Amino acid sequence: MTKTVFDLIIVGGGPGGYVAAIRGAQLGMSVALVERAELGGICLNWGCIPTKALLHSATVLRACRDAAHYGVTGAGEARPDLAAMVARSRKVAGRLGQGVAHLMKKNGVTVFAASAKLAGSGRLALDTGTTLSAKHIILATGARARELPALPVGERIWAYRQALAPAEIPKSLLVVGAGAIGAEFASFYRAIGADVTLIDMTPEILPQEDAEISQLARKAFEKQGIRVLTQCAVTGSTLTATGVRVSLAQQGKQTDLDVDRVIVAAGIVGNVEDLGLENTRVKVDKTHIVTDAQCRTGEPGVYAIGDVAGAPWLAHKASHEGVLCVEAIAGLPTHAIDPLRIPACTYSHPQVASIGMTEARAREHVKHSGGEIRVGKFTFAGNGKAIAMGEDQGLVKTVFDAKSGELLGAHIIHPEASELITGYGVAASLEATEEDLMQTVFAHPTLSETLHESVLSAFGKALHA
């Protein structure tokens, strides 16, 4: 007979849910994980991982095309094999999905392939007819792409799933939404030969990033041949004989754009429907579940983590919340997550990564106390490793509190930005000051030396600028 009573049940097997399950099992709890689709969630199967596989294929393609620059001949005629790229991407996602299944078995987590909804105190009803019970229930149901009425998803108007497994390369493509997802798709499709237009309603692309970094990203995209339109909104669309005609409104002007395909990347909404929340004290605000610092909802014994619990919508934030939530349930000491210490990465070409406050936000932050900030900048053109790699375009920018030396924010644009940002993440978590960072010895020659130089620059001590 299948066990139905547990110490902990988690609904959703994404990066938050399955990590919470593992931590619960490590702490001696009997744990059940309910997942209606694929273990690993959207991130592993249709988000973070497969997009990075495709983007790496694009990186290899660019490297082959530029091979002669590095003294390698015969690779300049490289062409994209889209079917092979997609097949590899799906294989990578499948391998990791199997890995999650193995981890569940290894840790003794009981997995139920079902949908679930709250059914009263400590009970969870599955659509298979089974009812599970636990003192603690964690909702980790994630989020989905926001739908736009003017762009109904179909054969020619894609959401992320269709964009990750195209049958052919579109000759022309409109990407709606210039946040991280939109920027990544724009970079990939441009690299494999599509004529790409990227639009956003805000004044700049990557609007969550520091304004200077966003402007540098825009210039880099446009140099690659991506057409960028900001303060631009979609007002309607019509299917044509071969593609889509999209009506655009930009600063009072109406224009029509004909493209083969459209990708909608206009944000996400939390998966809060059909969870039985209406009969509980769980509060929902703008499609996201409201929680406290320990991931507790208004309903005793019910918790929420990850994308369904609100911004920042990042897999690593979900995983960290999963551990925090379970450890709090177990009575262990925990520290509330500080969103300003969570790095964010966009895997476009070039990559953009950041942690903490933008320069503008930092100025506002210290303004109320009469304080000042210090800003440091260092370009990769002054870094030996970057020049040797042929990747000397980019910037590291750091923002400090002038009085205390606290690192308020760090921002990087470079093909390796996502790997570099963790250095500042560790510094922020350890509450390192500018003095600590300046006294740190960075290996030479490495790209990480740019992190050091940017800190030195903020205090007038840059050595290679």
- Positions annotated as catalytic residues are 444
SS (H, E, C) 314-376: CHHHHHHHHHHHHHHHCCCCCCCCCHHHCCEEECCCCEEEEEECCHHHHHHHHHCCCCCEEEE
- State the Cα–Cα distance between residues 446 and 58, nearest whole angstrom: 24
- State the Cα–Cα distance between residues 309 and 17, nearest whole angstrom: 12
| CB-count exposure of residue 431 (10 Å: 0-12, 13-18, 19+) | exposed
Give the dihedral of Cα atoms 433, 437, 440, 443; nearest 10 deg: 160
Q: Which residues have C-beta within 8 Å of that of residue 188, sequence separation ≥ 6?
A: 51, 54, 55, 58
Nearest residue to 181 (alpha-carbon basis) of 313, 58, 85, 64: 313
Q: Which two tokens stand for residue 140?
A: 């980790």
| CB-count exposure of residue 116 (10 Å: 0-12, 13-18, 19+) | buried
- State the Cα–Cα distance between residues 81 and 57, nearest whole angstrom: 10
Compute CA distances 347 → 118, 187, 208, 449, whole Å.
Answer: 37, 9, 15, 21
Q: What is the DSSP secondary structure assignment for residue 148, as one 8-state letter?
A: B
